Amino acid sequence: MLKALTANRLADGEVVFWSGERWIARFGLARLFDDDQIAEAAEAHAKTQITELVDPYLIEVSAVDGGFAPVSYRERIRALGPTNKPDHGKQALGGADVEVLVHAQGAARSKGRVDLIRRK
Amino acid sequence: MYRYDEIDQEMLADRTAEFRAQCERRLAGELTEEQFKPLRLMNGLYLQLHAYMLRIAIPYGTLSSARMRRLAHIARTYDRGYGHFTTRTNLQLHWIKLKDAPDILDQLAEVGLHAIQTSGNCIRNVTADPYSGAIAGEADDPRVWAEAIRQWSTFHPEFSYLPRKFKIAVTATEADRAATQIYDIGLRLHRDAEGGLAFDVGVGGGLGRTPYLGPTIRRSLPARHLLSYLQAILRVFNRHGRRDNIHKARIKILVAQLGAEEFARQVEAEWEASDNAAVDLPDEELARIRAGFVANFEFLPEVSEVFEAARAANKAFARFVRHNVVAHKVPGYAIVNVSLKAIGETPGDCSAEQMDLIADLAERYSKDEVRVAYEQNLILPHVKLDDLPVVFEALASGGLATPNIGLISDIIACPGLDYCALANARAIPIAQDIAKRFEDPVLAERIGELKIKISGCINACGHHHVGHIGILGVDKKGEEFYQLTVGGSGEGDASLGQILGPAVPAGRVAGAVDELVGVYLAERREGERFLDTVRRTGLAPFKTAVYADAH
């Protein structure tokens, strides 16, 4: 299963993804890891970036029509914004990558997020 | 309403200054998230799915127009122009930046608002009947006692690190609009046999994964001993409450394990052994607090010609009056419920413009007061009948005159998976679906009182256990499913709902509600609410209707 690395930005709580070079807002530009070891190393490094990030973790990603999307519903909501306010969150930016997420089907538990909740 | 004196204001300013320094240290990397998290939570700042969420305390749901305007200003300046009123009568702002939080707290403090007691294992913001001081039949104004509890409990050193969070609600009528039976402590104020003010004290109510209605452990406690008795309850909780398992740490678990009788015995023993005079409120202090809650009313005729003429001429106004206006204790006045459940909107959400409008109306027409109800609506508690038509028109102009209080579209919904880091499923879109399906006000009126309550997870912020129809979002193999309960109530006739059957997918929920309503309309007898019919017939006909296809 492909993975992406996500976190919330410390200063404003914004959901961010690791592009391979920097932390970015759009899931569509996130680096997708097909090697678990490399993904986990990136996650470990993210955990040291305490002035920039809160709670980095890996999410599962799968191929969908038109591109890739987080497997879990929760992560798609994080990547888009709240479904009750389409003008809030990243979905307001529009674009092909947002459309891919909006139309992605299927849902599954977000393992990374569940682990976080367990720790709370 | 509470008023902060110079010492209180200084305390708020000091606290914000302290938090500002803590935020700076966090942003500079001098504090880790693990170290900082408990500090930000103590200032009401949570990290949710999309941003930080600031939970602002609204003590016993009472706001002045100045405080409401400040909330509007903060929503407009630091958030996305709206806020969300919760079942705890607090206001949550869902798009807050950490770097702004100290400035926001400073601005709140200027008008005596804050986020104290909105997180952590302390005594949380105290709630009360939102009709306090306006409804007939009250033994006393519950806010006087809620304020006494607030002053006593804020930063109480002995009770700042309880086994788990602790919530207290106060009511003074049998209708129980404060849902006291689902609180850790529910206080029901009345006159005892001798005419003295007294509390029936319920302990150990709560929802979540193990729901209980709190048993009454003490009847007719003389009101003057309230604080010492609360102290005794909390000492027993602190002594025996579990700290090893977060799911078993609430006082309801302790009360259930010991049994209400044994728990009460221990509380009485603790109470007898304590120096209660040192804790109980002196009469002069109670009088000082009480003075903050006295409203002066004019002598007005019982019948207002202006009001009667408007009601006869305007059907929309007449409908609004039937559902949103409640008789006031003083002739010539009315209690006006302001629905935050416009059809298709998010339950409990209120825009900054709407907050400003309500503040203006409160200042001009309701003795400068607004109330927040746990059912996620607002209230203008003291409106003259003569002013009702003007207030109605103003509310309607702001999208705030939906005539649905207590009806099927007046739905409680927690923020759910759209915002909350703990949720398993969304609650808001389910509420929107149901409200749209029953949008026709004639149909909604024909169905009558029906309280639907939706939670996005088992923590039950949406009170689903006590909904006439309760809806709980669950994660079933990774998909959003919804478990239905029927027959619950959080009011004077409180009961926990019973699970109807297997959870249904999101797309089936509104249809299932339709089927439940269909059974009710077919089965109901004269004068029966949905809840009454369920209690009379039991679950069977409702279950058959919803799961007909499964057989």
Average pLDDT estimate for B73-78: 98
pLDDT at B551: 55
CB atoms B49 and A78 under 8 Å? yes
Of B26, B47, B96, the CB nearest to A8: B47
Residue of B nearest to A114 (CA): B422
The radius of gyration of chain A from alpha carbons, rounded to an integer in Å, stands at 13
Q: Which residues pair with B90 in a beta bridge?
A: none
Q: Compute the distance between CA of residue B308 and CA of residue B174 in angstroms, rounded to an integer.
A: 30
pLDDT at B253: 98
CB atoms A13 and B50 under 8 Å? yes
- 0.90 surpassed by pTM: yes
Cβ(B36)–Cβ(B26) below 8 Å = yes
Average pLDDT estimate for B34-53: 97
Domain B412-550, architecture per CATH? 2-Layer Sandwich (3.30)
Q: What is B305-397's CATH topology?
A: Sulfite Reductase Hemoprotein; domain 2 (3.90.480)
Contacting B with CB below 8 Å, chain A residues are: 8, 10-15, 50-51, 54-55, 72-74, 77-78, 81-85, 88-89, 107-109, 113, 116-117, 120
Q: Compute the distance between CA of residue B381 and CA of residue B367 in angstroms, rounded to an integer.
A: 8
pLDDT of B327-378, one tens digit each? 999 999 999 999 999 999 999 999 999 999 999 999 999 999 999 999 999 9
pLDDT at B186: 98
Residues of A with Cβ-Cβ distance to B32 under 8 angstroms: 50
CB atoms A13 and B97 under 8 Å? yes
pLDDT at B478: 76
Give how far B234 is from chain A: nearest CA, Å. Answer: 25
Residue A120 has pLDDT above 70, yes or no: no
Residues of B with Cβ-Cβ distance to A82 under 8 angstroms: 49-50, 94, 418-419, 428
Surface-to-core class of residue B239, CB atoms within 10 Å of its CB (0-12 exposed, 13-18 middle, 19+ buried): exposed
Q: Give residue limits of the domains in chain B.
A: 6-62+91-110, 134-291, 305-397, 412-550
Residues of B with Cβ-Cβ distance to A54 under 8 angstroms: 33, 47
How many CB atoms lie under 10 A from the CB of residue A48? 10
Q: Which has the closest alpha carbon to A59: A107, A9, A11, A4?
A: A4
Residue B48 has pLDDT above 60, yes or no: yes
The radius of gyration of chain B from alpha carbons, rounded to an integer in Å, stands at 23
% helix, strand, coil for chain B, step of 5: 45, 20, 35
Domains B134-291 and B412-550 share a fold: yes
- pLDDT classification of B4: cutoffs 50, 70, 90: confident
pLDDT at A116: 47
How many CB atoms lie under 10 A from the CB of residue B386? 17
Q: Compute the distance between CA of residue B61 and CA of residue B334 in angstroms, rounded to an integer.
A: 18
pLDDT of B257-279, one tens digit each? 999 999 999 999 999 999 999 99
CB atoms B478 and A108 under 8 Å? yes
Of A12, A51, A84, the CB nearest to B51: A12
CB atoms B428 and A83 under 8 Å? yes
Contacts of B27 (CB under 8 A, 6+ apart): A10, A11, A51, B98, B99
Give how far B408 is from chain A: nearest CA, Å. Answer: 20
Residues of A with Cβ-Cβ distance to B506 under 8 angstroms: none
DSSP secondary structure letter of residue B328: -
Residues of B with Cβ-Cβ distance to A85 under 8 angstroms: 346
- State the best of A14, A78, A84 to mutate against chain B, taking most chain B CBs within 10 Å: A84
CB atoms B33 and A77 under 8 Å? no
Rounded to two decimals, the ipTM of the complex is 0.92
Phi and psi for B42 in degrees, rounded to 5? -65, -15
Q: Give residue limits of the domains in chain A.
A: 2-119
Domain B134-291, architecture per CATH? 2-Layer Sandwich (3.30)
